Amino acid sequence: MSVRLLFVSKGEDSASTRYRALQFFPLWRKAGFEPAHVTASGGFRATLDMLRQARRADVVIVLRKTFPAALLWLLRRASRRLVFDFDDAIFCNTDGTPSRTRMTRFAAMARACDHVLAGNAFLAGHAAAFSPAVTLVPTCLDAARYRVVADKPADSLDLVWIGSHSTRKYLAEAMPWLAAAARRLPQLRLKIVADFDLPGCGVTTLPVVWRAESEAQELAASHIGIAPMRDDDWSRGKCALKVLQYMAAGLPVVSSKAGANAEVIADGEHGFLAATSEEWGERIAQLAGDAELRRRMGEAGRRRVETDYSIEAVFERLQPVITGLG
């Protein structure tokens, strides 16, 4: 008899649902499991449906959500085995400052579960304070989907940033050094694959509306991926998804020297880690002037993703954890 897995999240459109649950469903089925997903947001009816489905599942995996004490108690009672999976620093505020309310709910969730799956080492360390059973399962992607052929512009040097309005602040904060780099390199453009533009920022921008079916092509048609970020607890909880996307598309990466980005990128091999505005400008100029270096770093990054961060590689780490709960 196959093992029934129920993934609980705030919705199918959530990035954590797509990357930490739904993309694994074909592999779960191939391995003899029965995966299903239920949305836990939507009021009383949605809550009842979640609890009803939890009773029928062998393992319930909650993605990123924490619950009020009464609902957590009911879910724990309904679940044979309960797992918490998270890929953000949900125990603090989004500006990185401490939050007693968020930490209390996070701690209760970790304590109530049979196992915790954390997206990076920083998150795993926080979970370990409340649970003796924590496994680091990095966010990963379908590497084959990003191995596309695309023509890159010959008359411009395109930096690319992929994200959404919720992470716009990281790119906006990088504008002073990006503008300085553009004055040094007149051919520089900034491709923004997202749901916004930054007009008048001092850099020629190329806004591209994000679409799942075209994101790989847009990345591959660029020259360098950039990942500026803050160095605070919220940022340290990020799981380097955009960096993995750039590397899977064969791009060299310039990233802030912070969080999981610094775990994924080997400085000087897959790209560069920059700590100051001066370093950002120097590293972009270095890559802009050396097409062979861009190619070599891009290929090294792609190999890194395919070996360590592909869905197949990560599933090999994930499946034994879930199987062992039986």
Listing DSSP states for 73-136 in one string gives: HHHHHH-SSEEEEE-S-TTB-TTS-B-HHHHHHHHHHHHHSSEEEESSHHHHHHHTTT-S-EEE
Q: Are residues 68 and 53 in the same domain?
A: yes
Residue 124 makes CB contacts below 8 A (sequence gap 6+) with: 116, 118, 134, 135, 136
pLDDT exceeds cutoff 90 at 13: no
What is the average per-residue pLDDT within 4-21?
Answer: 94
Q: Are 1 and 34 in contact (CB under 8 A)?
A: no
Residue 293 makes CB contacts below 8 A (sequence gap 6+) with: 252, 286, 287
What is the average per-residue pLDDT within 280-308?
Answer: 97
Q: Are residues 71 and 171 in the same domain?
A: no
Residue at 220: amino acid letter: A
Q: Are residues 82 and 181 in the same domain?
A: no
Q: Tell me how far apart the alpha carbons of residues 292 and 7 are, in angstroms, rounded to a whole number.
A: 44
pLDDT exceeds cutoff 70 at 1: no
Instruction: Write down the pLDDT at residue 42.
Output: 81
- Which residue bears the tokens 């190619």? 295
Q: Tell me how far apart the alpha carbons of residues 227 and 156 are, in angstroms, rounded to a whole number.
A: 20
Q: Tell me how far apart the alpha carbons of residues 279 and 224 are, in angstroms, rounded to a whole number.
A: 15
What is the average per-residue pLDDT within 63-73?
Answer: 96
pLDDT exceeds cutoff 90 at 321: yes
- Residue-wise pLDDT tens digits, 164-180: 998 999 999 999 999 99
Higher local confidence (pLDDT), 97 or 1:
97
Place 101 in a pLDDT band, splitting at 50, 70 and 90. very high
Q: Are residues 161 and 112 in the same domain?
A: no
Q: Are residues 161 and 209 in the same domain?
A: yes
Mean of pLDDT over the chain: 96
Q: Are residues 205 and 127 in the same domain?
A: no
In the chain, how many H helices and how many E strands? 15, 12
How many angstroms separate the Cα of 23 from the Cα of each of 78, 134, 143, 219? 26, 22, 12, 20
Q: Are residues 106 and 170 in the same domain?
A: no
Q: Which domain holds residue 187?
A: 143-308
Q: Are residues 232 and 102 in the same domain?
A: no
Among the ranges given (10-19, 74-83, 136-145), the one the predictor scored with the smallest mean pLDDT: 10-19
Q: Are residues 246 and 133 in the same domain?
A: no
pLDDT exceeds cutoff 90 at 261: yes
- Residue-wise pLDDT tens digits, 181-231: 999 999 999 999 999 999 988 999 999 999 999 999 999 999 999 999 999
Q: Are residues 91 and 163 in the same domain?
A: no
Both tokens of 295, joined, read 């190619």
pLDDT exceeds cutoff 90 at 43: no
Q: Report the CATH number that the domain containing residue 11 is assigned in CATH.
A: 3.40.50.2000
Q: Tell me how far apart the alpha carbons of residues 324 and 135 are, in angstroms, rounded to a whole number.
A: 12
Query: Across the strands, what pairs with 9?
Result: 39
Place 259 in a pLDDT band, splitting at 50, 70 and 90. confident
Integer-rounded Cα radius of gyration of the chain: 21
Query: Across the strands, what pairs with 116?
Result: 84, 134
Instruction: Write down the pLDDT at residue 41.
Output: 84
Provide the domain count of the chain: 2
Q: Are residues 218 and 149 in the same domain?
A: yes
Q: Tell me how far apart the alpha carbons of residues 205 and 190 are, in angstroms, rounded to a whole number.
A: 5
pLDDT exceeds cutoff 80 at 326: no
pTM beyond 0.75: yes
C-beta contacts of 95-102 below 8 A and 24+ residues apart: 95/232, 95/234, 96/230, 96/232, 96/233, 96/234, 96/235, 98/233, 102/66
Place 104 in a pLDDT band, splitting at 50, 70 and 90. very high
Both tokens of 66, joined, read 């924490």
pLDDT exceeds cutoff 90 at 324: yes
> E strand or H helix at 216, and its extent?
helix 215-220
What is the average per-residue pLDDT within 270-298?
Answer: 96
Instruction: Write down the pLDDT at residue 258.
Output: 87
Could you give the strand order of the β-sheet that contains 204-209, starting from the edge strand earlier in sequence?
204-209, 188-194, 157-162, 224-227, 253-256, 271-274
Q: Are residues 135 and 173 in the same domain?
A: no
Both tokens of 179, joined, read 């503008």
